[in-house]
A and B are shown apart, each in its own frame.
Chain A
Amino acid sequence: QQQVKQSPQSLIVQKGGISIINCAYENTAFDYFPWYQQFPGKGPALLIAIRPDVSEKKEGRFTISFNKSAKQFSLHIMDSQPGDSATYFCAASRTGTYKYIFGTGTRLKVLA
């Protein structure tokens, strides 16, 4: 119930393409879903986050799509750039717990 399943494990996209990473959760008590970006040798950094009261959130080239009934959410990176090459983690949390359950990560490589 506490797991967050993330796919794919790795992803290769051409420059300018769309990168899509998917996550699924089981615990319906989760009400906060952030995405973190991690470059080699660095800690994860918050990229974008969504709450289940909206179905989509967009910040620049990054969009989260959220499907509450399916208990799934995804990250879309539009016009992917080589600088986006990193590992992306989805996470889920419940208000008041301060505890994030992270997915296993997706290693994205954007080819120039």
Chain B
Amino acid sequence: EAGVVQSPRYKIIEKKQPVAFWCNPISGHNTLYWYLQNLGQGPELLIRYENEEAVDDSQLPKDRFSAERLKGVDSTLKIQPAELGDSAVYLCASSTSPWKQFFGPGTRLTVL
């Protein structure tokens, strides 16, 4: 089966610019996660969706970050405006149960 697809794989932007990341989960996976992974650190959950509903967004910095999962399939994570400290890898994962999450390859964001 196809894995979690993310695009773009790399993105370089100037600070204060907007940026968006796209994720296509594994077919049939109702749960979708966005994680932030800083260099040398483990992933940290930003938001979790059950179908189209954001059921846990407690770690999402809502002043500049937003996410959506229209029709309960693909999802987009947006940052506006980006700051230098946002440079990191943004991972998307999906699952049918909480016990095994399938991660995509991530989008590496560099903010200059």
Contacts and interface: CB of A to CB of B under 8 A. Distances in A.
Interface of A: 4, 6, 32, 34, 36, 41-46, 49, 89, 91, 93, 95-100, 102-105
B106 interface: yes
B40 A46 contact: no
Given A43-B91, A43-B106, A104-B40, A99 B101 contact: no
Of the candidates A41, A43, A98, A100, the one having the most CB atoms from chain B within 10 angstroms of its own CB is: A43
Interface in B58-110: 91, 93, 98-106
A43 B42 contact: no
B42 A102 contact: yes
B24 to A, nearest CB: 13
Contacts, number: 54
A41 B48 CA distance: 23
B31 A43 contact: no
B48 A43 contact: no
Contacts of B8: none
B53 interface: no
B20 interface: no
Given A49-B99, A105-B42, 11 more contacts: A32-B98, A36-B103, A45-B102, A46-B100, A95-B98, A98-B33, A98-B98, A102-B41, A102-B44, A104-B40, A104-B42
Main secondary structure of the interface of B (DSSP, over half): loop
Interface of B: 4, 31, 33, 40-45, 48, 56, 91, 93, 98-106
Contacts of B33: 98
Contact of B4 (A43, A93, A97, A98): A43
A105 B103 contact: no
A2 B45 CA distance: 13
